[in-house]
């Protein structure tokens, strides 16, 4: 099948052209001679270029953040909150332009991009509300004679590294709590999707963020740029979203200065469908967990385990639904399945599907990359995927649903937990006792019980085992950017 894709429409072109393409350091836009091409995944063509930072640019950004730290930490919480509230409203008011930027550089359908902007904006609103609720404590010493005064203060200049799959929301999920807590920051977006972060920097500037509080460096050599920043004692916090392999390397670097870290790393999410599940609910949940963002999410269902009595019907109905999903350029009307991020992503998905086929899996739908421009892979369903298939050991990051059958509850739990990862899992059952029992037995930081989406700014997002450290969102999200100070007061 050949996929025909048009060049960016006028509205998308205007949106792209509206984005500053320099580095944002100390409140100023700075161009560099070296440039990074931003590629449209739907066509493989270059949309524009952005500045390519070097190590000194990163250190300049850190210096700007460090210089602004004391004043920003002393800024009243109410003022920080009001700035975030203005940024929240600005994102919502600018949804269409920002959604087109996200779709152009990342490929996701425009409807999903609009949803991401709303999701991204909500982090600013949530943390605007949390900024004014940073509390402490006061108590008499148990032995008497003194009082314990406990206060919380901003960690300090923070390095925020964001991924390409949710380029706007992952920025606000990190910037929001940092600013609310009183931390300045340097943001390093993914090379593939820098435009959303650059657009966000300008929105925050207009919303009233002081010079140096938020800095953005785009680079084609992230290790060379972030390494010196991590080694610099002025950096006091690293928040990273990305692969477990890279996260481990960053943790090693951070250990040298005992830098505070939070890590949202890889996943290998099981989705368990019991024979007493409402199959209508389970199918909708599986579609959401598998196909959101074209399957390119750390929360995507990676292993779908279905109890034997309903396995055949579930597979048939899921394949029918996925076969009906329109595919094409994300900005085109009605498209649900857009392109993958790049050629390497297509090659990875192709190899995972081919490996499963060689090991005995049956391809029910799709299974072959498309010819033509762009980086497209069709919605794919495989049944009888063996546990030793590569796709059950690594994130697929594509629109591929791999199904396997189980017989007992204990078997499902054991197989679901048989992974070094532990970000999220999904459980579908109409039995409340079973739902709670299984949810508590699963080794993941989050569980979707009869639902296929768990992400919410008001909930603590994060994993266990090799899926990360710390939480983003929820009441604990701001804690990642605060230190606790105890003051002993003699009477």
d(CA 139, CA 126): 30
Burial class (CB in 10 A: 0-12, 13-18, 19+), 56: exposed
Judge whether 296 and 398 are in contact, CB under 8 Å: yes
Reported as half-sphere exposure (CB side, CA atoms, 13 A), residue 212 has a value of: 16
251 CB neighbour count, 10 Å cutoff? 16
Please report, for residues 106, 298, 328, 365, the alpha-carbon distance to residue 306 in angstroms, rounded to integers and kept in the order given.
Answer: 32, 21, 30, 18
Which tokens hold the place of 95? 């949804």
Please report, for residues 134, 305, 317, 405, 414, the alpha-carbon distance to residue 310 in angstroms, rounded to integers and kept in the order given.
Answer: 49, 11, 11, 9, 20
Pick the closest to residue 175 from 445, 414, 477, 489 (CA basis).
477
Active-site residue list: 264, 298
Give the CA angle between residues 284, 285, 288 to the nearest 5°: 90
d(CA 246, CA 250): 6
d(CA 453, CA 476): 20
3 state SS of 303: strand
305 phi/psi in degrees, rounded to 5: -105, 120
Which tokens hold the place of 260? 């505070």
Residues in the chain: 491
Pick the closest to residue 240 from 251, 228, 232, 231 (CA basis).
251
Rg (CA), the chain: 23
If residue 177 lies in a helix (H) or strand (E), which one and from where to where?
Answer: helix 169-181
Write out the DSSP string of 366-395: --SPPBSSS-----EEEES--TTSGGGTS-
Rounding to the nearest 10 degrees, give the CA dihedral for residues 97, 206, 26, 16: 10
3 state SS of 218: coil
Pick the closest to residue 303 from 408, 403, 439 (CA basis).
403
Pick the closest to residue 91 from 189, 7, 196 (CA basis).
196
Strand 237-241 to 158-161 pairing: parallel
């Amino acid at each position: 099948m050949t996929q025909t894709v048009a060049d960016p429409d006028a509205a998308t072109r205007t949106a792209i052209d509206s984005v500053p393409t320099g580095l944002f350091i100390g409140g100023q836009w700075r161009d560099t001679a070296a440039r990074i091409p931003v590629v449209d995944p739907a066509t493989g063509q270059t949309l524009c270029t952005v500045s390519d930072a070097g190590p000194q640019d990163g250190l300049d950004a850190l210096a700007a953040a460090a210089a602004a730290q004391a004043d920003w930490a002393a800024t009243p919480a109410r003022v920080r909150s009001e700035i975030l509230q203005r940024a929240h409203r600005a994102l919502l008011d600018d949804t269409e332009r920002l959604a087109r930027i996200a779709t152009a550089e990342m490929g996701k359908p425009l409807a999903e991009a609009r949803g991401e902007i709303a999701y991204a904006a909500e982090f600013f609103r949530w943390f605007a509300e949390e900024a004014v609720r940073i509390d402490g404590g006061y108590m008499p010493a148990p032995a008497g004679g003194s009082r314990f005064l406990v206060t919380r203060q901003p960690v300090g200049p923070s390095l925020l590294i964001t991924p390409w799959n949710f380029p706007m929301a992952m920025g606000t999920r990190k910037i929001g709590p940092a600013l609310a807590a009183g931390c300045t920051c340097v943001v390093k977006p993914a090379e593939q999707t820098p435009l959303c972060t650059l657009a966000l920097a300008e929105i925050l500037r207009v919303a009233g963020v002081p010079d140096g509080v938020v800095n953005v460096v785009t680079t084609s050599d992230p290790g060379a740029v972030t390494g010196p920043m991590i080694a610099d004692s002025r950096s006091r916090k690293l928040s990273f979203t990305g692969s477990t392999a890279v996260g481990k390397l960053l943790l090693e670097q951070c250990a040298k200065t005992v830098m505070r870290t939070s890590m949202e790393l890889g996943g290998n999410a099981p989705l368990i469908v019991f024979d007493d599940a409402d199959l209508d609910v389970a199918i909708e949940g599986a579609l959401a967990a598998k196909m959101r963002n074209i399957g390119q999410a750390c929360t995507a269902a990676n292993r779908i385990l279905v109890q034997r009595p309903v396995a055949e019907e579930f597979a048939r109905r899921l394949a029918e639904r996925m076969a009906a999903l329109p595919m094409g350029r994300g900005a085109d009307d009605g498209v649900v399945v857009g392109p993958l991020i790049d050629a390497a992503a297509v090659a990875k998905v192709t190899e995972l599907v081919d490996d499963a086929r060689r090991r005995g899996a049956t391809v029910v739908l799709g299974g072959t990359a498309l010819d033509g421009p762009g980086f497209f892979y069709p919605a794919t369903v495989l049944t009888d995927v063996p546990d030793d298939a590569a796709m059950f050991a690594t994130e697929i990051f594509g629109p591929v649903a791999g199904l396997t059958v189980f017989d007992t509850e204990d078997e499902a739990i054991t197989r679901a937990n048989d992974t070094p990862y532990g970000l999220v899992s999904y459980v579908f059952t109409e039995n409340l006792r079973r739902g709670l029992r299984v949810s508590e037995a699963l080794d993941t930081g989050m569980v979707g019980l009869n639902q296929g989406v768990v992400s919410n700014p008001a909930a603590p997002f994060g994993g266990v085992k090799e899926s990360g450290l710390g939480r983003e969102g929820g009441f604990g999200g701001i804690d990642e950017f605060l230190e606790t100070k105890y003051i002993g007061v003699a009477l």
